[in-house]
Structure 1
Amino acid sequence: MIKKADSATGSGQILSIKDAFTKAKTLAESGQLAQAEKICNDIINANKKFHPAYHMLGRMAARVNKNKIAIDMLNKAISLDSSNAQYHCDFAEVLCNNANPKGGLIAIEHALKINPNVSHFHYIAGTALAALGNSKKAITAYNKAIELNPNNGLAYNNLGSIMENSGLQERAKHAYANAVKINANHPEAQNNLAAILLAEGDVENAKIHFEAAIKARPLFVEPHYNLSTIKNYEEDDAHITQLEAIARNSAALPADKRVKLCFALGKAYEDIGNYDAAFDLFEKGNTAHRRTFKFNEKRAIGITEQLKTIFNKEYFKGSRKKKSDDPTPIFVVGMPRSGSTLIEQILCSHDNVFGAGELDTMSKVINEKLDIFPNDYEKLSDDDIKEIGENYIRRIRLLEPDAKRIVDKMPANFHYAGIIAKALPGAHIINTERNPMDSCLSNYGRLFNQTMHFAYNLEELGRYYNRYQDLIKHWHSVLPKNRLIDVHYEKVVDDLENQAKRIIKFVGLEWDDKCLEFHKNKRTVHTASVAQVRKPIYKSSVERWKNFGDHLKPLKDIVAPE
């Protein structure tokens, strides 16, 4: 029996353990966790083997991120009643949420042995398997969860995430759409569906779903950030007010969410002409993100010098392009945010060109021969280098077997121009150029999904730009003729037709008028320029940097000294 004080009368009330537990459960469900916790502890003091109380304490601790307590309490509940499948499931969920998917998988397997017919158990199994990188088994688990409960929107959303990461965009979109259909207030599913629609070029419907995600969870920073990248803000935009309200109370947000908020609100302020406030936010966001990783700039400088030494004029002496050389690969390289997505979109609007996006294929086939490129490159035989080229061609051909040309738009491939010219003598390399200040500012004002360590400090960004320019000049001086051309973003903006014809001619194709209507191309685009390439040519990004004046002086002193 539990003696409980009546808060209204101060009198003592005697409850059975069963009634006390029912009371605790009611309190927990209404969010009165402290009161529920007190009753559970009273129950345990009265009966240390009453495992439901440990279980409830574990679940309540998990709700407020007291993870060690949650693990301890759930473990205790299981030790007292190992036949309870729900205990094992909740234990698995806590472990998965605390970066222990291996332990989570073991725990959920216990639950499934006890009862294999619970949809949520299979959902948790899928979560653990996905975290462990076993996508195939995770898909099976999520599908089983859906089979047992067709309204399991969580399973649909996570299934969509695996499909998307596997490049199965249509199947991912279908899964996200099902999750949203089941529950329109599922913020993650709304955000994920919006991202797929945006990549496909359906900007307006993407906005609708980003806004639905925000409505479902106003403090969910991800859709706020995503929406900011595709909006053109005006001063009375209600979304700016929302962002400002979140920013005023952002201390409780995780650090990475505060960074995204800085970039989102900075973008909004720039759009309405409040450039000082915009730059202040960009600087805060970049500085905070820069603290999260180490960047070995000395190593980066050394690589540039190594490349110039290895790939010299003597190395390419006698290298001549033959008719039999495969012309399939087109490499679009340069600084990120230099117009490379625009060039790719122009190219792949041609009937004979497939745009593969930013591939890591070249780095992978090189690293299969060398642990760290360019170390020990000289030890590679001619056959090794030939094999690198063959492996690259074979892998990109899997993406679109019938295309005459395939575009790889990984900007950093400019580091590999020497080996590309040797291993793929039929390949074409297009270097996208842009005003250095605009190019660097466009990097500084954007948070990238990829790891680009050079982009979050103005001085480091400027020095990276200079190393890039130094290497491009070197490639022009040593590569065989007609392997590399520069395409200037500003010239494309001023004279689209002639620049587009120059590009198409360089890659050895007949002209196609559709290249001038690149914005109508519905191909999937996953880069930061996804919204921009859905529009005709515009000039508003030219000399954008001038709006920020002296804020960019540290950058200007490096890349464009007077």
Structure 2
Amino acid sequence: MGRSQHDDPARAEREFSTALRAMERGDWSHAEKRLRRVAKAFPENAPVHFNLAVVLRQQNRHVAAVKQIQRMLDIDPTAYDGWLMLAENLVATGDVDAASNAVQRALTLQPDRFEAHLMLGQLSAEQLRWTDALMFFRNGLDKKPLDVNLTILLAQSLTALAQFDEALALLRGALDTQPNQVDLWLSTGEMLQHMGRIEEAVDIYRESLIQHPASGPLQLQLADCLSELQWPDEAKLLYEAVLQQTPGHPDALNNQALLAAAAGQNTQAESAFRALMVNHPDYGDPYRNLSVLKHFDSTADQDILAMRAALRRDHLSSPSRAALCFALGKALDDCGEYDEAFDYFRQANDERHKAVRFDIDRLARRFDDIEKHFDQTFFEDRARWGEVSRQPIFIIGLPRSGTTLLEQVLAAHPDVAAAGELRKITEISLWIAAHHSAGDPYPAGVSQLDAKTVKALAGRYLDELTQRVGEAKRVTDKMPMNFFHAGLIHLLFPEAAIIHCNRNPMDTALSIYCQHFPPGMDYAYRLEDIAAYYHRYVALMAHWRGVLGGALLEVDYEQLVSTPRETVGNLLESLGLVWSDACLAHHTQVGRVETLSLWQVRQPLNIRSIGRWRRYESQLQPLIEALGPSVAGT
């Protein structure tokens, strides 16, 4: 018989080298076989146990990996990388506390290395301990100042703590020294998107593409921003560029289909969403988008069955799980299965709520500042500043209050064009913020504007309308969240109509709760938060009624759909427009719709959504209590 490995170190060394080569090419089972032979022959060899743990981790056998790395640490308790490897596998088994202890051991051994600080920051962030995460990421970046990952994670922690300016300054500073890092450009753009500064994000992405003209991720983000800003033609070209580089890219295909849906190309959009559901069953967005696009009549619908099957899949991401639950909630609501529908809506909102941070106190301060600066004296001192133009018609209100429907009704009039949800007023408010150095930049900065500047800002807005719809006599801007900026709008256009859409608070709140929104709607995923937001919104609208007078028109959703001729007629008269029968047949000529109301606004005016909340009355008790009986109407 030949000698055993116990007597042949050279042979064991060859086995170890063969295992390492197998690891390099990803042949984990072969590597494990070789390493176990060596470990049996040399059980006190720490590197063998370490590499065996790596192999087991790569096969998602984390419990076994923990045992191997613990054997390695028994042999060499001073192994810094061993403690980090132990922590990584403990996290995978769900033992976060033990993982934190393991990283702390590594930090004690080598406090000047950055990896332990990085991992402790990541563990803190996963537990939403953002202050701790901030400290660890700062310490890590002190050890390795140019580390891109640490920079991005530190910026994300600052964002979670609402320290937006510091986060943005950190990323911009990193870009100045490392413009070759695509991830820094992406993170800076995404940060601006999260802050609602979409126009600045577009500028960042355009600049980044000068540095990295073939970057698919940067092209995709720019396309998404342009789509949100309602520049669909350029967005479409960018999605096509992404798909040329990466055929079948799911995000590009999904967002391209959304452009088709917005243009009313439903058949094309539905086909694209269904193809994505087949080819990417773990990707939740196509299911949700399809559910918004169609009406369901039966729980046996093949699309509903596909949604249920997808939700049963293992390893779904939280965003995909939320999207699928929103999709099923909407589909089952269509079918009249209200209890099951609400259960899915609750699951969807619970998933979304994990990822947001709603601060009612911060919101209240913002509302208070707006009311403080846009008071009666402010407008008396600036009477008839801006542009004396009635061309723009501003439609404001809470999301899901009927703004899209009213826009389409008015846009059916031969003298009215629809510009959609423009961000130009928000862009102007951000310009004011950027050009005001003292105190709170907006709304306080508005009081420092002179008449010439106000007129120039109004001119910028009118130029945007011309660029989008040409020389239309009247143009609607139905950005609902402009209710924040009604005072600024009145300053810019003292003769323009601002139409406020009212809807039953219970129906509005339920409709908000049943939707997935883009960033910025952090209050939308908890009934009590929706109620808190609603109370502040009602107070602000009462303030606007007091200071804007006849410039603020009111339209009740319930009256619009139940007595449309009278309601629309009165509104047209207030706008100085003659009656047009086309307004009552808006559904026959709907243009682009970029909102969640894709299906509804292409139907004739109807009262089906009035009192919808009563189907869910038992589940909405927390909302009723938070609103109060007098507001809820119960």
Alpha carbons of structure 1 residues 129 and 105: separation in structure 2 relative to 1, 3 Å: farther
1:542-557 equivalence runs, <5 A: 542-557=610-625
Q: Which amino acid aligns with 1:460?
A: D
Q: 2:262, 2:592 within 8 Å by CA — same for their partners in 1?
A: yes
Alpha carbons of structure 1 residues 441 and 36: separation in structure 2 relative to 1, 3 Å: same
Separation in 2, partners of 1:299, 1:434: 26
Alpha-carbon shift at residue 441 of structure 1 (Å): 0.5
Partner of 2:534: 465
Alpha-carbon shift at residue 322 of structure 1 (Å): 10
Partner of 1:88: none
Q: 2:239, 2:253 within 8 Å by CA — same for their partners in 1?
A: yes
Separation in 2, partners of 1:192, 1:168: 13
Alpha-carbon shift at residue 206 of structure 1 (Å): 1.0
Separation in 1, partners of 2:28, 2:413: 62
Partner of 1:341: 404
Alpha-carbon shift at residue 410 of structure 1 (Å): 1.7
Alpha-carbon shift at residue 257 of structure 1 (Å): 2.3
Partner of 1:451: 520
Alpha carbons of structure 1 residues 323 and 283: separation in structure 2 relative to 1, 3 Å: closer
Say whether residues 1:421 and 2:490 are aligned partners.
yes
Separation in 2, partners of 1:173, 1:441: 33
Q: Which amino acid aligns with 2:618?
A: D
Separation in 1, partners of 2:273, 2:225: 20
Alpha-carbon shift at residue 459 of structure 1 (Å): 1.9
Query: Equivalent of 2:306, from 229, 232, 242?
Result: 242
Separation in 2, partners of 1:524, 1:37: 58
Partner of 1:560: 632
**For 2:393, what is the secondary structure of its paired residue?**
strand
Q: 1:126, 1:139 within 8 Å by CA — same for their partners in 2?
A: no
Q: Which amino acid aligns with 1:232?
A: H
Q: Which moved more, 1:182-191 or 1:285-294?
A: 182-191
Alpha carbons of structure 1 residues 547 and 330: separation in structure 2 relative to 1, 3 Å: same
Runs of 5+ consecutive residues of structure 1 not aligned to the other structure: 6-10, 43-53, 73-94, 110-124, 146-152
Alpha-carbon shift at residue 485 of structure 1 (Å): 0.9
Query: Equivalent of 1:435, from 488, 493, 504?
Result: 504
Separation in 2, partners of 1:157, 1:253: 23
Query: Equivalent of 1:255, from 291, 298, 318?
Result: 318
Q: 2:402, 2:501 within 8 Å by CA — same for their partners in 1?
A: yes
Alpha-carbon shift at residue 435 of structure 1 (Å): 1.2
Alpha carbons of structure 1 residues 383 and 141: separation in structure 2 relative to 1, 3 Å: closer
Query: Equivalent of 2:598, from 512, 530, 535?
Result: 530
Alpha carbons of structure 1 residues 143 and 350: separation in structure 2 relative to 1, 3 Å: farther
**For 1:354, what is the secondary structure of its paired residue?**
strand
Q: Which amino acid aligns with 2:596?
A: A
Q: 1:320, 1:480 within 8 Å by CA — same for their partners in 2?
A: no
Alpha-carbon shift at residue 241 of structure 1 (Å): 2.6
Separation in 2, partners of 1:183, 1:377: 46
Partner of 1:283: 346
Alpha carbons of structure 1 residues 392 and 36: separation in structure 2 relative to 1, 3 Å: farther
Q: Which moved more, 1:500-509 or 1:547-556?
A: 500-509
Say whether residues 1:209 and 2:285 are aligned partners.
no
Alpha carbons of structure 1 residues 25 and 301: separation in structure 2 relative to 1, 3 Å: closer
Partner of 1:402: 471
Alpha carbons of structure 1 residues 379 and 214: separation in structure 2 relative to 1, 3 Å: same
Alpha carbons of structure 1 residues 430 and 33: separation in structure 2 relative to 1, 3 Å: farther
**For 2:299, what is the secondary structure of its paired residue?**
coil
Separation in 2, partners of 1:346, 1:439: 20
Q: 2:387, 2:455 within 8 Å by CA — same for their partners in 1?
A: no
Alpha-carbon shift at residue 487 of structure 1 (Å): 0.9
Query: Equivalent of 1:490, from 547, 554, 558?
Result: 558
Alpha carbons of structure 1 residues 135 and 423: separation in structure 2 relative to 1, 3 Å: closer
**For 2:425, what is the secondary structure of its paired residue?**
helix
Q: 1:139, 1:162 within 8 Å by CA — same for their partners in 2?
A: no
Calculate the aligned-residue CA RMSD, in Å. 4.7
Q: Percent identity?
A: 30
1:497-531 Cα offsets, whole Å, 9 max, x none, are 33333333333334444333322335322211122
Q: 1:491, 1:499 within 8 Å by CA — same for their partners in 2?
A: yes
Alpha carbons of structure 1 residues 439 and 517: separation in structure 2 relative to 1, 3 Å: same
Partner of 2:137: none
Q: 1:476, 1:484 within 8 Å by CA — same for their partners in 2?
A: yes
Q: 2:208, 2:218 within 8 Å by CA — same for their partners in 1?
A: no
Q: 2:386, 2:493 within 8 Å by CA — same for their partners in 1?
A: no
Separation in 2, partners of 1:505, 1:332: 16
**For 2:293, what is the secondary structure of its paired residue?**
coil
Alpha carbons of structure 1 residues 207 and 265: separation in structure 2 relative to 1, 3 Å: same
Alpha-carbon shift at residue 336 of structure 1 (Å): 0.5
**For 2:619, what is the secondary structure of its paired residue?**
helix
Say whether residues 1:503 and 2:550 are aligned partners.
no
Q: What is the number of residues matched between the two proteins?
A: 492
Q: 2:294, 2:599 within 8 Å by CA — same for their partners in 1?
A: no
**For 1:290, what is the secondary structure of its paired residue?**
helix
1:185-232 Cα offsets, whole Å, 9 max, x none, are 553343222111111111222111100011111121111121122232
1:450-499 Cα offsets, whole Å, 9 max, x none, are 31122222122123223222322332233232x11111111121233333
**For 2:499, what is the secondary structure of its paired residue?**
strand
Alpha carbons of structure 1 residues 185 and 380: separation in structure 2 relative to 1, 3 Å: closer
Separation in 2, partners of 1:39, 1:106: 45
Q: 1:433, 1:488 within 8 Å by CA — same for their partners in 2?
A: yes
Q: 1:176, 1:190 within 8 Å by CA — same for their partners in 2?
A: yes
1:370-381 equivalence runs, <5 A: 370=433, 371-375=440-444, 377-381=446-450
**For 2:566, what is the secondary structure of its paired residue?**
helix
**For 2:395, what is the secondary structure of its paired residue?**
strand
Whose helix proportion is higher, 1 or 2? 2
Separation in 1, partners of 2:361, 2:177: 44
| TM-score, structure 2 as length reference | 0.64
Alpha-carbon shift at residue 355 of structure 1 (Å): 2.3
Separation in 1, partners of 2:361, 2:342: 28
Q: 2:397, 2:481 within 8 Å by CA — same for their partners in 1?
A: yes
Q: 1:24, 1:40 within 8 Å by CA — same for their partners in 2?
A: no
Alpha-carbon shift at residue 421 of structure 1 (Å): 1.9
